[in-house]
Amino acid sequence: MENLKIATAQFEHKSNDKTYNLSVIRELTGRAARQGARVIAFHECSIPGYTFARSLSREQMTALAEPIPDGPSIVKLIEFAREYEIVILAGLFEQGADGNLYKAQVCVDKNGLIATHRKLHPFINPHLTPGNSYTVFDLFGWKCGILICYDNNIIENVRATKLLGADIIFMPHVTMCTPSPRPGAGFVDPELWKDKVANREILNKEFDGLKGREWLMKWLPARAYDNAVYAVFSNAIGMDDDQLKNGRSMILDPFGDIIGECRNLDNEFVIAELTPDKLSKAGGSRYIQARRPELYGSILSAPHHSEQKVSWLHTGTL
């Protein structure tokens, strides 16, 4: 494998405005390509927006969703990929051929669709159907996977994607700055965003604290290190419906170290160069080889109580 330059982006999407959001995706994609990135990753539901969908009926969700790969937004992404000679990952709601609605993240290049991942643990809208498979694919000689937001909080999903061969896992999110039982969690006052220049110091303190980045740092580096993978985290910034999101899109290496992070309060991206040598040097590579699945295979695959199984679905907490 050769070194690979990947960009992860953050931007303030507009709810239910695919035209605007695709225009931002195109602009950031072009800039990243000119700076040498071969791949750019955007957050979940970066095309339609996210939290506004919590109140939509099935009919409204169906109207919002698109078929993959023939939907108009996918066609646009492929056009952008062809225009700038770059691979693009972005998210939308999918109208499946089976009649079900899914939360999807797609990967496209100039030749068309490379991969689609359906979120395994969707909860923003009750009419969404969970995906039922992992997603692993090739990019420039690298094995890659996709896990969307809450998928990454279930540690078995990350390990399973790694065991299927992934050395890079794209982790699109719209997360943080929401209420949760965890200490320090909660919303950030949307009023601060109305003058983000004047309120920059307060916003950065909130975004970097336990409501945001500080919580992320409790688990994201461990996902990368324990599994010896590059983690490409993408998140929205700014207003998402009535909620303020903190961005901080970043790329972590297999040691769990941050090798690139968006730190501004604006639409932006960061580029990091991934090198294959870290995959074998990081501790997670040894841990995977040392596994003894005969000890715990039946434990990990055992069903759990129904009340545990559905609690996250009702609360949507992280």
Express each pLDDT in 268-295 by its tens digit: 999 999 999 999 999 999 999 999 999 9
What's phi and psi for 290, nearest 5 deg? -90, 0
| pLDDT value at residue 306 | 55
Q: Tally the C-alpha atoms within 13 A of residue 21's C-alpha that lie toward its C-beta.
A: 28
Q: Tally the C-alpha atoms within 13 A of residue 195's C-alpha that lie toward its C-beta.
A: 2
Express each pLDDT in 167-216 by its tens digit: 999 999 999 999 999 999 999 999 999 999 999 999 999 999 999 999 99
The answer to whether the CB of 11 falls within 8 A of the CB of 28 is: yes
Express each pLDDT in 224-250 by its tens digit: 999 999 999 999 999 999 999 999 999
The Cα–Cα gap between 62 and 18 comes to: 15
DSSP secondary structure code for residue 271 in this structure: E
Q: What angle do CA 253, 171, 254 make, to 5 degrees?
A: 15
Q: Which fold has domain 4-315?
A: Nitrilase/N-carbamoyl-D-aminoacid amidohydrolase (3.60.110)
**Could you tell me what percentage of the chain is helix, strand and coil, using 3-state DSSP and rounding each to the nearest 5?**
35, 25, 40
Strand ranges in 59-191 using DSSP code E only, listed in sequence order: 87-95, 101-109, 112-118, 136-139, 142-146, 168-172
Q: How confident is the model at residue 315 (pLDDT cuts 50, 70, 90)?
A: very low
Alpha-helical runs (H) found in 232-305: 277-281, 283-289, 293-300
| pLDDT value at residue 304 | 78
